[in-house]
Amino acid sequence: METSLPELRAAAVEFAKAGGNTTLDYFQSSFDLEFKSDDSPVTNADRNAERIIRDLIHKHFPGHGIIGEEYGTENEDSDIVWVLDPIDGTQSFIHGVPFYTTLIGVLVNNRPEVGVIYAPALGEIASAATGFGAALNGDSMQVRECDQLNKATFLTTEVTTFKEHGFGEAFEQLLKESRIHRTWGDAYGHLMVAAGRADFMIDPILNIWDAAALLPIVKEAGGSFTDLSGNETIQTGNALSTTPAIKKSILNHFKPTV
């Protein structure tokens, strides 16, 4: 590999800041809002931020591939592929809520090895590279210890998506068994788990650009990032970030019934 993981991490942090900071020009201000074919919202802030990040990748790493939510894929067969979500949590962004983030994940030989979660409106940036730990605003971060569901803080994004994707019963049981539930969701919920502010976060549905940045950060913070079948992957469309001691208890609720 021609570029080391620490070098990719440092670049990803700078690129996320460059793209994410431009969203502040639109946040709680004026922006153009459209809806895609799947009815998900997109703004000119999303598109502008992704274009800035893509331009930086083209300039500094011209041979690398890119997968982005707004502008699709290019050179995706490269050994190194950047995965971009310029605004994760667009609903938060358009409603003036500061929990939206800019996400950059870097795949090396199809494995997520570098991740950045940047919350521009909060001034928080989490980053990680495999084998080099995870940090929040430059300080090392770790998941917190929690060994029982009845002590756990459970985070989600939209509660209705559990039922829509066949996980309604599991969600109801986890509500009963966990200490408290809050919808501090999207990527910021996964950041909260990695930073030791909450104990587990579940996304019943997400895309590769939502997930690629999350796995390295949660894992390097001492946590577990898997799909709801327990596989460490960003490909299957759902995700659980958790402190390891309660992982089995959570996943048991998602086992298929016979």
pLDDT of residue 42: 76
Query: pTM, whole model, 2 decimals?
Result: 0.94
Q: Kindly state the percentage of the chain with pLDDT values over 90.
A: 89
Asked if residue 178 and residue 122 are part of one domain, the reply reads no
**Is 134 in contact with 221 (CB distance < 8 Å)?**
yes
Domain extent for 225: 149-254
Count how many domains the chain has. Answer: 2
Asked if residue 20 and residue 121 are part of one domain, the reply reads yes
Phi/psi of residue 247, nearest 5 degrees = -55, -50
Among 140, 160, 175, the domain boundary falls at 140
How many DSSP H helices and E strands does the chain contain?
A: 9, 15
Instruction: Give the pLDDT confidence of 48-72 residue by residue, as tens digits.
Output: 999 999 999 999 999 999 999 999 9
CATH of the domain at 117: 3.30.540.10
**Is 210 in contact with 187 (CB distance < 8 Å)?**
yes
Instruction: Give the pLDDT confidence of 99-152 residue by residue, as tens digits.
Output: 999 999 999 999 999 999 999 999 999 999 999 999 999 999 999 999 999 999
Among 140, 160, 188, the domain boundary falls at 140
